[in-house]
């Protein structure tokens, strides 16, 4: 996921800073890797409605619920379902 030459962001909070790698997206928006946030800071995130959180990295799927996009290996999932044999 993160390498030493990868872009990073720094979160400043009362009592310290947390450096996090920026994970580049294959399609859509890139993101911050927050996997160690709780262990390293004692803090967690709040994301009402789970609207700004990705649960996993994927090289083969892309979803954008706000725009009604769901792709598998670059193909629209509706096309795959409608043309399944």
2 and 33 fall within a common domain: yes
Instruction: Inform me whether the pLDDT recorded for 56 exceeds 50.
Output: yes
Q: What is the DSSP letter of 59?
A: S
**Would you say the C-alpha torsion 74, 20, 40, 13 has a positive or negative sign?**
negative
Question: In this predicted model, which residue has the larger pLDDT, 1 or 27?
Answer: 27
36 and 59 fall within a common domain: no
pLDDT reported for residue 1: 45
Read off the CATH number of the domain in which 17 is found. Answer: 2.20.28.60
Number of domains the chain is built from: 2
Pairing of strands 69-72, 61-64: antiparallel
Q: Which domain holds residue 10?
A: 1-48
Instruction: Inform me whether the pLDDT recorded for 66 exceeds 90.
Output: no
70 and 35 fall within a common domain: no
pLDDT tens for residues 5-51?
Answer: 679 999 999 999 999 999 988 888 889 999 999 999 999 999 888 77
pLDDT reported for residue 3: 52
44 and 23 fall within a common domain: yes
1 and 41 fall within a common domain: yes
35 and 61 fall within a common domain: no
pLDDT reported for residue 4: 63
């Amino acid at each position: 996921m993160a390498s030493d030459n990868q872009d990073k962001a720094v979160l400043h909070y009362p009592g310290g800073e947390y450096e996090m790698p920026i994970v580049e997206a294959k399609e859509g928006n890139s993101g911050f890797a927050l996997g160690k946030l709780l262990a390293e800071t004692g803090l967690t995130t709040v994301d009402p409605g789970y609207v700004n959180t990705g649960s996993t990295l994927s090289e083969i799927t892309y979803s954008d619920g706000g725009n009604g996009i769901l792709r598998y290996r670059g193909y629209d999932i509706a096309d795959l379902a409608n043309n399944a044999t």
